[in-house]
Structure 1
């Protein structure tokens, strides 16, 4: 059995045990400690922290997420870090209210309820939890969906909420040659078993926050935003909500009826479909459509965006452009929420 060591997190004065053969982030998940994280693959910097004392070694990480000079100074990515002594680690990015309020990671065996095309390249995959019979998560989070017959997985956000205990919905973009998404063209059928692990992610509404909510999404990034909207509707949340969804054409829009219905129960709700290639085509009579990139449309409508909380999910170029826009408009970083998981975005 691997040796175990104690990790002390500052400035929150929190302790936990970690085995040498597991990374620090996974050890935290195992013990119900919700550290900030994104891709869990060493490619983003959401879990970047600073080693104050002790021996920690990293493996298989991107120097874009933690460059050589940062490593020399003592910075680490917790998702790629193994402890070989008792250590003290300074958390650079954390939510003190959520540290011990995260939902423990679950391994769930599910059964396929439906595989339904939503657009030409986005599919709704609905799964029924079988063992255990319920999958707990917070609206906006994501899970690892295991590829049948392999030891690989892809990460996808849930579109449902915890009130839908009989099923979990994922919205998945299909990529040519994608190891998982290619299965959705007939290789995954109703009744098949698929294992999922989760929940992960920090794309969640924060209790007690009152700022207006601005959602910016694109493609399969509809899923976690739809989960948030469904949750806000179910809980009669009174925060104002605006949702900007980027797509190429009218044919790439979906779930319009439900979005409009949810909006009837939300405060000051506004939905704008932002079409980057063409605004021509048939769109729901009650949906506002504007031509242009989603960030350009947001810029035209959100003059006071620095006084909102922004939730981002979509293709990496869209998220990157939105982050640049938000930074240029002085939106505080602690008012911007997005999960930087990378594997489902390209599904290679």
Structure 2
């Protein structure tokens, strides 16, 4: 049986127990402690913290999330870290309201209600769950790959208005362990297991700053959830949505976005096409990388709340822009959609 150690988090004065087999972030979730996190795969740095005392070792992680110099200095990714002694850890990012009051993690079964392609490489997966799933706009769940103990993480595009009817937008990868199943192996009526919700890139109710959303690829899903929630709650916050795609053929749900925008204050949707403008007639679109277009159009970013969702290169470029624009860190929320080769 694995040894158990005591973990103390500063500066929040919270303690918990963890076995040597447990990753610290997972152990925290089970004990109702909701630490900041993103991908939970050692690739995004959202859970990066600092070791004040004790012995920790990390499983495989990306050096882009925590480089060798940082590790040598004492930084650690809690989603990859195992404790081998009692430890004191300084949390570099935390939400006081979420730490002990986050939504409990649930495990549910669900049946597939629909599988529909929306572009050449993105599929809409709709599920009907056995019980309502409580979650916040911008969060995600783990879906277990049938016949394995492995999972893939996908964000909800829906809201709490349909807590037992969930939609996910999934990018297909050649040979993908889950996404390839959507080409015929999985079908309407098949059962899937879900665990969640996870994710700290959630819409903060009660805030009043204008909202700027930046997404690419399947990052459309959590942004749709955020936009739908803003409409359902009658929010008067101005909203602008920048979506990065290669060509007009990679755009989707334009009618749904237009319908949502009609009920939102000062809403603008800008399609950012990096390769070609062909076929974009009738669409508000600009040619270029999404972050370059945001930089050109948004002169008041420090006075906005910014939500980023999409592939790591896009999110990293956007974070660099926000840093250079002096946007306060507590006004930036992001989710990197990692894409392992075994997706």
Per the alignment, residue 305 of structure 1 pairs with 301
Task: Give per-residue Cα distances to partners, 1:166-186, cap 9 Å, x unaligned.
Answer: 311100111112111111111
SS across alignment from 1:183 = helix
1:106 correspondence with 2:106: yes
Counterpart in the other structure of 1:330: 326
The aligned runs of 1:63-212 (5 Å cut-off) are: 63-130=63-130, 133-212=131-210
Equivalent position to 2:271, from 270, 273, 293: 273
| The 10-residue stretch of structure 1 (83-92 or 261-270) with the greater mean CA deviation from structure 2 | 83-92
**Match of residue 229 from structure 1:** 227
2 CA distance for matches of 1:9 and 1:121? 42
TM-score, with length taken from structure 2? 0.94
Q: Is residue 2:50 matched to residue 1:46?
A: no
Q: Aligned partners of 2:250, 2:71: CA distance in 1, in Å? A: 43
Shifted more, 14-23 versus 232-241: the winner is 14-23
Change (3 A) 1:297 1:201: same
* Residue aligned with 2:220, SS: helix
What TM-score results when the alignment is normalised by the length of structure 1?
A: 0.93
Instruction: Give yes or no for contact 2:8–2:87 (8 Å, CA) kept in 1.
Output: yes
State whether residues 38 and 201 of structure 2, in contact with CA within 8 Å, keep that contact through their aligned partners in structure 1.
Answer: no
- Within 5 Å, give how 1:26-45 maps onto structure 2: 26-45=26-45
**Alpha-carbon contact 1:45-1:77 (below 8 Å) kept:** yes
Q: Secondary structure at the match of 1:267?
A: coil
Equivalent residues of 1:145, 1:195 under 8 A apart: yes
Relative to structure 1, is the Cα distance of residues 191 and 289 closer, same or farther in structure 2, using a 3 angstrom cutoff?
same
- 2: CA distance, partners of 1:80 / 1:90: 16
Relative distance call for 1:146 and 1:119 in structure 2 (3 A) is same
CA deviation string 1:275-327 (max 9, x = no partner): 222222165x4x41222221222122111112111111122222222222222
Residue by residue over 1:236-280, the C-alpha shift from the partner in whole angstroms, topping out at 9 and shown as x without a partner, is 112110001111222211111111111122111111111222222
Take 1:316 and 1:59, find their aligned partners in 2: how far apart are those partners?
Answer: 20
Instruction: Indicate conservation of the 8 Å contact 2:311/2:337, yes or no.
Output: no
Bigger mean CA deviation after superposition, 64-73 or 201-210: 64-73
Find the aligned partners of 1:315 and 1:304 in 2 and give their Cα distance.
25
Task: Verify the 8 A CA contact 1:24 1:79 in the aligned structure 2.
Answer: yes
Number of residue-to-residue matches in the alignment:
343
- Give, in angstroms, the shift of residue 341 of structure 1: 4.8
Following TM superposition, by how much is the alpha carbon of 1:195 offset from its aligned partner in structure 2, in angstroms? Answer: 1.0
SS at match of 2:5: strand
Q: Structure 2: any 5+ residue segments left out of the alignment? A: none
d(CA) in 2 for partners of 1:65, 1:135: 30
Structure 1 contact 38–340 (Cα < 8 Å) conserved? yes
Deviations 1:47-69, CA, capped at 9 Å, x for gaps? 11122223323232333333333
Structure 1 stretch displaced more, 262-271 or 328-337: 328-337
2:62 aligned counterpart, secondary structure: coil
Match of 2:236, SS state, is: coil
